Amino acid sequence: MEAKEVKDAKPKFGWCWLLLVSVIAILVIAAGVFTIVKDFKGSKKNPASHHSGPVVKKYADALEIALQFFDVQKSGKLVNNRIAWRGDSGLQDGIERNLDLSKGMYDAGDLMKFGFPMAFGATMLSWAILEYGEHMKAAKQLRHAQDSLKWITDFLINAHPSENVLYVQVGDPELDHECWERPETTRERRPLTQVNASFPGTEVAAETAAAMASASLVFKKINSYYSHILLEHAQALFAFADTYRGSYSVSIPQVQNYYNSTGYGDELLWAATWLYHATKDLSYLEYVTELNGQQFANWGNPTWFSWDDKHAGTHVLLSRVNIFGAKGILSEENLDLQMYRKTSEAIMCQLLPDSPTATSSRTESGLIWVSQWNCLQHAMASAFLAVLYSDYMVTSQISTLYCHGKLYNPADLRNFAISQADYILGNNPTKMSYLVGYGSNYPQYVHHRGASIPINANTSCKDGFMWLDSINPNPNVAVGAVVGGPFLNETYIDSRSNWMQAEPTTYNSALVVGLLSSLVRSSLAVESFT
């Protein structure tokens, strides 16, 4: 009928009318197709368009709580302090070398600033913001995350006063562990420890480079000058790390009792990968593929992602390059990127509980469990990588993951991540939330100096131990802390003297923030960080 009407109208309006109608129809169809494609892929210029689904209140509430632990851990002159029982501390840190190292964050329940795990925490917080900043914004937490990140990177900038010098520790851990006191009242000596060309520390210098490179992307649009400074430090530190190769555990033997490194090849790849994302300089991509991939990448051998081992994180971060593509990549480099992606897939297959290659490193209830010390680290890190890879798959329309004869989809990876997050938030045999301050049942005896000592207590180094040994719950809530977690049999002993289970770490908070922010709402991945 419509065709006949057009044909009948032809003598009256002529071929020009047909042409005009055709052009309009083509434009309408094209606009519709463009809208569909844009809605599916998300807009690089408008990250908000990659959202789908409402905010999940449970995870948004937990995210708000988790971010507060960064405020609990802050050193220095506090600004907009949200923790009533915390005050200024560490104001003289660095003064012996005419440096201002007052900022940064205390590592755990002690008063040490360890540069290696602190930088890792900054890198992970940056990654969380870059991937899920819009989720944080929807939960009204993005500004808090950015401010916490900058508190750490301000310290890292000052800790790198010259090209081949990086201060990696503030305080003496042996002296620190002989005392139990609030950071606001400590008077003990806080010596500085550095790595340099004569006593190198490749892994800590490279991790710090990764932290600064990733943070430079976070601040690129909101503070371009600061972003530029971070990137300059990142490039200089990477050159230092790569030129003067040597483990900081060898240069500084005392760190072996606290944050001993098992190797630096993974940190070199991790840092170069972040520098590639920050600069789009293909030389960094060449570094992680044909130049050093074979030597350092450990392709085909999945390992656990942690402050010490960055392989799994690097595999996933380079998978994003392979999945979404990038300009100027040579065929040889792309082949190596495929190896990173295949290893990422092997990691995902190990995490899925009913996969033919599922890891046995988990509790009966399904929590990833690798080590009795700070066991939740691996659960959170694994879950974060899983949900990231799930979002990469959805965005690029990859529908299946092949695991030795069995097929899985992105929802399976997300459900695994949800299972780990929910376990931490209280869906576990103890019915306890391991995120302090979340829910009605959470640890009351967290191994944490500031939380355990009343704000008006007048104690010094030794007599503060009365508060460690007290039978009373902590007078101050270490809100947002993620404690070490349960034993393999899924029991938890809530005792301050049980530091194996009851001590939180700052980098744990970065991991849980990443995990929770990924689950605040369902989403597609942002295809580019820039």
Catalytic residues: 447
- Measured in degrees and rounded to the nearest 5, phi and psi for residue 111 equal -115, 25
Output the six-digit token pair for 255.
Answer: 């760190």
Output the six-digit token pair for 523.
Answer: 């989403």
Query: What distance in Å separates the CA atoms of residue 279 and residue 284, rounded to the nearest whole number?
Result: 9
Residue owning tokens 């795990």: 117
DSSP structural state of residue 287: I
Query: What distance in Å separates the CA atoms of residue 331 and residue 25, rounded to the nearest whole number?
Result: 41
Output the six-digit token pair for 172.
Answer: 């003496």
Rg (Cα) of the chain, in Å, rounded?
A: 25
Query: What distance in Å separates the CA atoms of residue 293 and residue 269, rounded to the nearest whole number?
Result: 8
Q: Give the Å distances, CA to CA, from 117 to 302, 368, 500.
A: 21, 21, 17
Nearest 5°: the CA angle 21, 36, 277 is 130
Output the six-digit token pair for 143.
Answer: 């500004």
Output the six-digit token pair for 124.
Answer: 């992970």
Output the six-digit token pair for 31.
Answer: 């606009």
Cβ-Cβ contacts under 8 Å for 382 (sequence gap 6 or more): 304, 305, 312, 351, 368, 420
Q: What is the DSSP string of 71-112?
A: HHHB-BS-SS---TT---B-TTTTGGGT-----SB--SSSS-
What residues form DSSP beta bridges with 89? 76
Query: What distance in Å separates the CA atoms of residue 436 and residue 451, rounded to the nearest whole number?
Result: 11
Closest CA to 168 of 191, 150, 184: 191
DSSP structural state of residue 463: T
- Measured in degrees and rounded to the nearest 5, phi and psi for residue 501 equal -105, -30
